[in-house]
Structure 1
Amino acid sequence: MWRRSGTFRLAVGLLVATALAAGCATDPPGPARAGVGQPVSGEGRRITLTVGVFGTFGLQEAGLYDVYMRLHPDVAVRQTSLARNDVYYPQLLTHLTAGSGLADVQAVEVGNIAEVVATQGGRLEELGTAPGVDRAAFLPWKWAQATGPDGRTLGLGTDIGPQAVCYRKDHFARAGLPTGRAEVGRMWAGDWGKYLAAGRRFAARAPEGVAFTDSASGVMAAVTAGAALRFYDGRGRLVVADNPAVREAWDLAAVFAREGLTARLQQFTPDWDQAFARGAFATVACPAWMLGYIQDKAGPAGRGRWDVAAAPRPGSWGGSFLVVPSAGKHRKEAARLAAWLTAPAQQARLFARRGSFPSASAAYALPEVAGARHPYFGDAPVGAIFAAAARGVPRAPVGPKDALVAQILADTGMLQVDQTGRSPASAWDAALRAIDNALDR
């Protein structure tokens, strides 16, 4: 399930960036300062490069295009954007197939990157050897997601969604659980089964009307996100039905549902939003980009009550790439722009200004990331927490329909166990049938 587009992405980016700026962020050193408050028109330039994105992607809002134009006086950069990825992506596939109507640089969401690499690889430029690209600067698992079987790397990672667990300190205190983030992380370190044990401890003394976690589907997604093999194997074959890791995530989430440890919510719905404001649950699996969402929905009353601890196992949920279509007129220049936009210094700037966590691990030592704290979450050292999670994410294959499979498992399957009491075995069979139907199998 990938929820990174449209107004949601805008709200998250603005909220996280505001909080980080209040906590620690400083502008990057060197040339990046040139773009601050000094937009560049680009008129009269030798060439114009276009960048096609979905939602409020952050590159323009962080001032990166202006900086690039100051560094490259002959180049103008223009952005086009569609509000939603579910509108943007089908159009991108159509334009790639036709070889027309494309921007010089196009964004691709992580849930779509495997399909793009598999079906459109011959229509995209190799970026792994482009000038300015340093493979060693990127997380190996992120680099692998946009690399095809032939070894060609067709996309450069922008951001990722490393996971932690966000929790309510006040609810934990009333239930007799530790509240310090280090102690909380140790309580379930290394095993999502320990997270279940913590939930049972919480339930024994829980404040009235407060569940341990928001949803069984959220638990399932978090556990699956840390598996080395998920819905597809390395050859692109769907293995969801036979993969023990997926079934383990399903069975564990079902226990949460059957034992009443969840608030029985569906994520990214009005009821879920309102539950944050009511303090209706004590924990939620928390990718880096969700910090802003929690701050928005929990509001001022949640400030200082929420905190962030390491997840039982690292995983990632979300992120995007930049690709360069071969049909473009300025392919070499576009590749240079994509390389610059995804370089560590620019990713650190994007994090400081927009809250998008870098996919370039070389950015983690830069002060904008290493020193990042979030005042809403008790001044939690979010840069260090999410950097550690990012480094631990396993290198798992990403399939062409990962997002669709995850959505069906959650909404057709686990949601029914959580909200209607359907048996886990029956819901599992129903979800697998729905996946087969959706994929015409």
Structure 2
Amino acid sequence: MSVPTTRRAALGAALAVSLLAAGCGGSDTADDGTITLNLGLFGTFGYEEAGLYDEYMRLNPDVRIVEESVERSADYYRALQTRLVANSGLADIQGIEIGFVADIVANHADRFVDFAATGNADESLGHYYDWKVEEATTADGRVIGLGTDAGPEAMCFRRDLFEQAGLPTDRAELGALWADWDGYLELGRRYEASPTKPEGSAFVDSPASLFSAAVYQGQTAYDDEDGNPIPETSDGVATAWQHASTAADEGLTANLTQFGDEWNSAFVNGAFATISCPAWMLGYITTQAGPEASGTWDVAPLPGQASNWGGAWLGVTEASEHREEAIALVEWLTAPEQQVRMFTDSQHFPSSQVAAEDPAVSGATSEYFSGAPIGQLFADSAANLRFTPIGPFDTQIQEAFTEALSTIETDGRAPDEAFDAALAEIEQIVGG
């Protein structure tokens, strides 16, 4: 699973520096012929926890797998960028997060094996959703990694809070009521106006929740087809800002900072009733809310078009001393069978269409989320996703917009003024 770069609990830059100094590359071969394949990852990919490394080593006794992982992906990528420029200290296999895949595609593709040119290209690439492959493809057709998970979105909601506020809780009915974001906001007004809603609770956790989901429903989000930032003219930005700023201006949000301490606590204390919910968020909610909240949460379709938040790839570095063995390991870890296992084990939703259509995924329900048909909900979203151009500054651009949105509710800033402030900050980011 991957979460945007600043959203991880900080491990600290010192760890990233120490890992860089130590290096995680340097494949070796033991006296008995066993080779070591090193993986440089971030966050929680979950392969070790799911037992996939042990299984692969049983199937391939001549291979030893060593994973080094940095908790915070921003720290990980700063170290990786340095290694890529120096072409030194690289692991055989490096994790690539959606927040920095565009930079690698544009500036470091030559450091990675082209999976479109391997002998198993048809098999290793053919099972994916097209948009997942396209995001990791250069202008000249090189594919720099194979996809792991994806983050198709739905809407998570608190059944108990809806019931107290007198709102419907049937998933299909809610999906019809909030078929678009206007309907979602109207339901939010009903929630806020309800005399029986829980005291101190808001309809949605933050304007960022709405904005981050809606922005990728446009033809463009932050960039044009060449990866150039276009926040002023993007249809996705305009629509997302309109709806998110309305929610903030009307006080429909708890205005929490996502992944902050107060936000984490809010999953327990019921400070909000809805949150845009990529597939990996289910595990996050389960962890934060705890077992006592089982059955209070549910999942319904996302308002508007399909949207994606999150996902990663595994790339094999050209500097690897065991290139073919590393390719074979990546192909195995990302094969449909293993992607199915990662979903059933850890709810990492597949970026493989073949895996997503497997009954173990498409037929999955969640007892914690009130029996919601999570496999079908997220599979429907993934199947309807379309490729939206991405660029190297997307994470920073999104943060500028979401931070500006918070000032509307906190400081009473006018939406137009907040939008202009975000654009000014983005100009500094992109121009710098």
What TM-score, normalized by structure 2, do the two folds share? 0.89
The aligned counterpart of 1:137 is: 127
Q: Does 1:439 align with 2:427?
A: no
Gaps of at least 5 residues in structure 2 are: 12-29
For 2:172, the equivalent position in structure 1 comes to 182
Tell me the distance in 2 between the aligned counterparts of 1:96 and 1:3: 18
Following superposition, the deviation at residue 229 of structure 1 comes to: 0.8
The answer on whether the counterparts of 2:255 and 2:409 sit within 8 Å (CA) in structure 1 is yes
Q: Do structure 1's residue 117 and structure 2's residue 100 form an aligned pair?
A: no
1:131–1:62 Cα change, 3 Å? farther
* 1:217/1:195 CA distance change after superposition, 3 Å: same
1:324-373: CA deviations, max 9, x gaps?
A: 11111121221121111111101111112222111101002324312322
CA contact (8 A) 1:45 1:73 kept: no
AA paired with 1:197? Answer: E
Q: How many equivalent pairs are there?
A: 407
- For the residues of structure 2 that align with 1:274 and 1:101, how far apart are their CA atoms? 39
Deviation of the 1:105 alpha carbon: 0.7
Q: C-alpha separation between the residues in 1 aligned to 2:292 and 2:412?
A: 33
Q: The residue matched to 1:138 in structure 2 has which SS?
A: coil
SS class of match (2:274): strand
Q: Which residue of 2 aligns with 1:315?
A: 307
Measure the CA separation in 2 of the matches of 1:301 and 1:67.
34
AA aligned opposite 1:138: Y
Aligned to 1:430: 421
Q: Which runs of 5+ in 1 are unaligned?
A: 10-41
**Considering only aligned residues, what root-mean-square deviation do their CA atoms show, in Å?**
2.0
Deviation at 1:161, TM superposition (A): 0.9
Which residue matches 1:13? Answer: none
Q: Would the aligned equivalents of 2:357 and 2:379 in 1 still touch at CA under 8 Å?
A: no
Compare 195-204 and 106-115 and name the one that shifted more: 195-204
Find the counterpart in structure 1 of residue 60 from structure 2.
72
Query: Can you list the C-alpha shifts for 1:180-213, whole angstroms capped at 9, x where unaligned?
Result: 1122112212x22211122122222151322111
Change (3 A) 1:3 1:282: farther
**Are residues 1:368 and 2:360 paired?**
yes
1:26 corresponding residue in structure 2: none
Is 1:330 aligned to residue 322 of structure 2?
yes
What amino acid is the match of 1:114?
A
Out of 269, 282, 289, which is 2:273 matched to?
A: 282
Measure, in 1, the Cα distance between the counterparts of 2:162 and 2:127. Answer: 39
Please list, as runs of the form range in 1=range in 2, the aligned pairs for 1:166-315 lying within 5 A after superposition.
Answer: 166-189=156-179, 191-205=180-194, 207=197, 208-312=199-303, 313-315=305-307
Residues 70 and 6 (structure 1), Cα distance of their counterparts in 2 relative to 1, 3 Å cut: farther
Partner of residue 151, structure 2: 161
Aligned to 1:354: 346
Q: Distance in 2 between matches of 1:355 and 1:263?
A: 27
CA deviation string 1:411-437 (max 9, x = no partner): 2x1111122111111111111111111
AA aligned to 1:238 is P
How far residue 46 of structure 1 moved from its aligned partner, in angstroms, is 3.4
* Partner SS, residue 416 of structure 1: helix
Per the alignment, residue 90 of structure 2 pairs with: 102
CA 1:3–1:199 in 2, change beyond 3 Å: closer, same or farther? farther
Maintained 8 Å contact 2:216/2:388 = no
Distance 1:6 1:437, change over 3 A: closer
* Preserved CA contact (<8 Å) 1:374 1:382: yes
Which stretch shows the higher mean deviation, 227-236 or 108-117? 227-236
Where does residue 421 of structure 1 map in the other structure?
412
Residue in structure 1 matching 2:4, options 2, 5, 17: 2
Q: How many Å separate the matches in 2 of 1:72 and 1:4?
A: 37
Partner amino acid for 1:308? V
Q: Give distance in 2, aligned partners of 1:259 and 1:131.
A: 57
Shift of 1:314: 1.4
Note if contact 2:5-2:73 (Cα within 8 Å) is conserved in structure 1.
no
**1:398 to partner: Cα distance:** 1.2
The residue number in structure 2 matching 1:146 is 136
What is the aligned partner in structure 1 of residue 392 from structure 2? 400
TM-superposed CA distance for 1:243, in Å, is 1.1
Mapped to 2, the partners of 1:44 and 1:61 lie a distance apart of 27
Whether the 8 Å contact between 2:202 and 2:253 is mirrored in structure 1 is yes
Cα deviations by residue, 1:64-121 (Å, 9 ceiling, x for unpaired): 1222222223222221222221111111111112111111110011100000110001
Equivalent-residue separation in structure 2 for 1:419 and 1:302 (angstroms): 29
* 8 Å contact from structure 1 (residues 212, 281) kept in 2: yes
1: CA distance between counterparts of 2:187 and 2:212? Answer: 18
Distance 1:140 1:343, change over 3 A: same
The one-letter amino acid of 2:48's match is: Q
Distance between the aligned counterparts of 2:325 and 2:287, measured in 1? 39
Q: Provide runs of 4+ in structure 1 moved above 6 Å.
A: none
Aligned to 1:37: none
State which of 373, 377, 381 in structure 1 corresponds to 2:369.
377
CA contact (8 A) 2:192 2:252 kept: yes
Contact preservation (8 Å) 1:5, 1:55? no
Q: Which has the higher contact order (CA 8 A, sep 6+)?
A: 1
**Do the aligned residues in 2 keep the contact of 1:227 with 1:394 (CA within 8 Å)?**
no
Query: Does structure 1 residue 85 correspond to structure 2 residue 73?
Result: yes
- Equivalent position amino acid for 1:92 in 2: L
Q: CA deviation at 1:8?
A: 9.1
SS of the counterpart of 1:375? coil
Match of 1:321, SS state, is: strand
State the secondary structure of the residue aligned to 1:53.
strand
Q: Is the 8 A contact 1:177 1:202 kept in 2?
A: yes
Instruction: Look up the match of 1:409.
Output: 401
Q: SS where residue 39 of structure 2 aligns?
A: strand
2: CA distance, partners of 1:134 / 1:300: 38
Q: State whether residues 5 and 83 of structure 1, in contact with CA within 8 Å, keep that contact through their aligned partners in structure 2.
A: no
